[in-house]
Structure 1
């Protein structure tokens, strides 16, 4: 019985020496949320999200994705991806990108929209 009690005290002492994880303090990254939750893009085609010209996410209708990114500028390009849904054949698209500047600890949300110039991001509220 005494051995068990001493073992328990020793275990609790060892756990107290382990540093606790904390979400407080300076964050060295930012969170970027891109959503296709609204039906502003009238197509069933999958949309590819390119961060700095690298395919980083794929979105169908009613989906969203998030990225943990270092602070600083990031170029975001959106394009329709062929092949995953009927009628989504590759074609000529406007290959423009948007540049966002992210700050450490910042959470930004954007929604995908479409107009005469193609796909683009609109700032959205977080609604938490």
Structure 2
């Protein structure tokens, strides 16, 4: 009886030494979610997401991607990528960037849309 009691006390003492994992508190990154869930872009081609001029993600129809980024400004460019589907050669495109300023601990959701000037991001609600 004494041995199990000592084992229990030792286990409880060990648990107090190990810090608990927590998602709360000050976070030093921002979450950026880019979705293509709506059918606003009338193409089956995949869309490349370039962060600071580096291909960082690919988004197909009805998908989304997310990034954990440091706070501060980030330049985002969207572009059609050549792929498996016929007719997905990008050709000449408007190569404009959108600059977003991210705050630490913030979750930002944008959806991909298209207009006469090409692909761009529009703010979306989180809807959780």
TM-score category, normalised to shorter length: over 0.9
* Aligned twin of 1:93: 93
Aligned length: 128
Q: Distance in 1 between matches of 2:77 and 2:43?
A: 17
Q: Please, what TM-score do these two structures have when normalized by structure 2?
A: 0.94
Residue equivalent to 1:18? 18
Q: TM-score, normalised by structure 1?
A: 0.94
> 2: CA distance between counterparts of 1:72 and 1:46?
28
Q: Do the aligned partners of 1:30 and 1:71 also contact (CA within 8 Å) in 2?
A: yes
Displacement of 1:4: 2.8
Unaligned runs of 5+ in 2: none
Deviation at 1:20, TM superposition (A): 1.2
**Residue number in structure 2 paired with 1:42:** 42
1:6 Cα deviation after fit: 1.2
Moved over 4 A (4+): none
Is 14-23 or 111-120 further displaced after alignment? 14-23
Q: Give CA-to-partner distance per residue, 1:34-82, whole Å, 9 cap, x none.
A: 0000000000000000000111110110000111111000000000000
Partner of 2:102: 102
- 1:119 aligns with 119
| 1:31 positional shift | 0.7
RMSD (CA atoms): 1.1
Kept after mapping to 1: 8 A contact 2:77/2:96: yes
Report if aligned partners of 1:46, 1:84 keep a CA contact under 8 Å in 2: no
Task: State how 1:21-100 maps to structure 2 within 5 Å.
Answer: 21-100=21-100
Unaligned stretches of 5+ residues in structure 1: none
